[in-house]
Amino acid sequence: MLKYIKKRLLLFIPTIIIISIVIFFIIQLPPGDYVSSYVAALAAEGETFTPEEIAAMRADYGLDDPWYIQYFNWVKGIVTEGDFGYSFEYGRSVWSVIMDRLYLTLAVSFVILIFQYAVSLPIGIYCANHQYSAGDYIWSFIGFLGTATPNFLLAILMMYWIYMATGEVYLGLFSHDMLQNGLRMEYLPEFLFRCLIPLIVIGTSGTCGIIRTVRAQMLDEQVRQYTLTARAKGCSEKTIIYKYCLRSALNPVVSGMSGSLRTIFSGSTVSAIVMNLQIQGPVLLQALKTQDMYLAGTIVMIQAILVVVGTLLSDIALAWLDPRIRFSERG
């Protein structure tokens, strides 16, 4: 296992380098650049620029160089100075823009991730152990409904119901009073209530998918030969379910956790825009729209790094859960 981890760590650096090149190249593919978007936005308001002024702006931003020169300067700044570049849209360093919403993004995403697994795993186990019961049918219906309903549509419905019930428009995690006076203890109940809405909206889609996966895998494991042998030898049903079947059933769930770290960093973009959440997703979308390449590239590259790290962690967890993986690796 240690040999396998070392091998994966050695592949980590070249993988990240290749990913960063691909990311930077793809971001540069759309026609124009940030100056083009900026000039077009001001032209719509009646401002005019001469070709010389536009060329000077490109030179100031370093956009007159080929993309590979810009990429080299960007990576050089990251490696030597820890500088991820300058955000043209926000007028300051990229990392300061990311840090503005990082803590709130991590807090919201961690709570949603814990909610998904804390709710879905017990329900999936219950449905598998009570196949074709009333509870199984009810949770299966809810699972299909949650998977089929887009998050942004559920967010709009939740916001509408809140408005009809309270007469107030939902404007994100912070109310006007919170923004004015800060998050005091007196605002804590309201803040927790506001957090409940994105928890339900974003958490339901992942929860429903995990329920269906765990149920299907548990049903498949319960008819395997080793399960029948354990029953024949007199093992208790609880031991068979939780010690043997559940460990094998968790394999696809654990393997799917590789993308969870990326989701924790960025959050749900469309749902965040609909609910006006101050997390990283809308920042990435705005950076892509304005071709703020250093900000967009940094966010996407961090997501890619988290996917690689998450894949490594999920592989280690799979080897711990399933002895067959350890034996095959050893062989």
Confirm if 184 and 126 have CB atoms less than 8 A apart. no
Confirm if 125 and 117 have CB atoms less than 8 A apart. no
- Position 201 scores a pLDDT of 81
- 22: CB partners within 8 A, 6+ apart: none
The DSSP code sequence of 201-238 is: HHHHHHHHHHHHHHHHHHHHHTTSHHHHHHHHTT--HH
Instruction: Give the relative orientation of helices 188-221 and 151-166 as an angle to the nearest 10 degrees.
Output: 140
Total count of residues recorded for the chain: 331
* Cross-strand pairs, 92: 87
Confirm if 235 and 245 have CB atoms less than 8 A apart. no
Q: According to CATH, what is the number of the domain 98-330?
A: 1.10.3720.10
Taking only the tens place, the pLDDT of each residue in 160-187 is 888 888 777 777 777 666 766 666 777 7
In 3-state terms, what secondary structure has residue 93? strand
Confirm if 253 and 213 have CB atoms less than 8 A apart. yes
- Position 107 scores a pLDDT of 78
- Position 325 scores a pLDDT of 63
Residue segments in the chain with a per-residue pLDDT below the cut of 50: 331
- Position 254 scores a pLDDT of 78
| pTM, rounded to two decimals | 0.76
The residue extents of the domains of the chain are: 98-330
* Cross-strand pairs, 86: 93
CA 43 to chain centre: 36
CA angle (307 as vertex; 301, 308 as ends), nearest 5: 95
Residue 77 CB-density burial (10 A; 0-12 exposed, 13-18 middle, 19+ buried): middle
- Position 183 scores a pLDDT of 64
